[in-house]
Amino acid sequence: MKLHGYFRSSASYRVRIALNLKGLSAEHVPHHLRKGEQRDPSYLAINPQGLVPTLEDDRGAILTQSLAIIEWLEETHPEPPLLPKDPLRRALVRAFALALACDTHPVQNLKVLARLRQLGLPEDEVTGWAAWANHEGLSACDILIAGETGPFCFGEAPTMADLCLVPQLANARRFGVDLKSFPRLLKAEAAAKNLPAFADAAPERQPDAE
């Protein structure tokens, strides 16, 4: 398999963790987002959104969107599971993941911040926007799992929720968000970071890291 990504992309980071947890290896193909390589016609041909990640499987099938890739990995390589068995618990895990993947990350991604700059916003307001988006999403997520004993977001093993949380917390720190008010999220992050699958997927451990 090939994983088209970028070391700092949190959506790529999610898929790297999933591959590691499933014990799958993939050749990493970096696309430098800040240099605009994701808009190269050869990349747009496999990912019309011009976003990372894209996964090419061994038979050449092309998959886009990190959560669709993770659901596919879960269906084709079920062990260890990244979703609980019970439908209601699955819905809670997915809702947590989507609160970050839909309502948080895309509102603060490179493309949106670039657009804000084009509209004339000064750099401190651009960073403030990104911090706001992260704070809004993480605040809600901290409440969503307040009643979960953990140590992971949902139970004693990582799920799709943790795959989204750990990269989002890395973003939040880059934008200066004070995370002290999210103790439950930090507890889940600490549990995750003890696992090599998470540690090895970290941006600073990727070959294209700067």
Residues engaged in binding a copy of itself (CB under 8 A): 48-51, 57, 61, 63-65, 67-69, 71-72, 75-76, 87-88, 90-92, 94-95, 98-99, 101-103, 105-107, 111-112, 115, 119, 121, 125, 129, 132, 136-137, 139-140, 143-144
Q: Minimal distance in Å, beta carbon 134 to a copy of itself?
A: 13
Q: Minimal distance in Å, beta carbon 128 to a copy of itself?
A: 9
In the complex with a copy of itself, the residue whose CB is nearer, 161 or 169, is 161
Q: Minimal distance in Å, beta carbon 106 to a copy of itself?
A: 5
Give the chain's length.
Answer: 210
- Listed in sequence order, the DSSP H helices in 30-159 are 41-44, 66-76, 87-101, 110-118, 123-144
In the complex with a copy of itself, the residue whose CB is nearer, 119 or 180, is 119
Answer whether 7's CB lies under 8 Å from 33's CB: no
Single-letter code of the amino acid located at 72: W
In the complex with a copy of itself, the residue whose CB is nearer, 105 or 195, is 105
Q: Minimal distance in Å, beta carbon 70 to a copy of itself?
A: 10
Using DSSP's 3-state secondary structure scheme, residue 1 falls into coil
Q: Is the peptide bond before 30 cis (omega within 30 degrees of 0)?
A: no
- Considering only CA atoms, which of 70, 64, 24, 4 is closest in space to residue 197? 24
Pairwise CA distance, residues 133 & 136, whole Å: 5
Q: Minimal distance in Å, beta carbon 205 to a copy of itself?
A: 25
In the complex with a copy of itself, the residue whose CB is nearer, 71 or 208, is 71
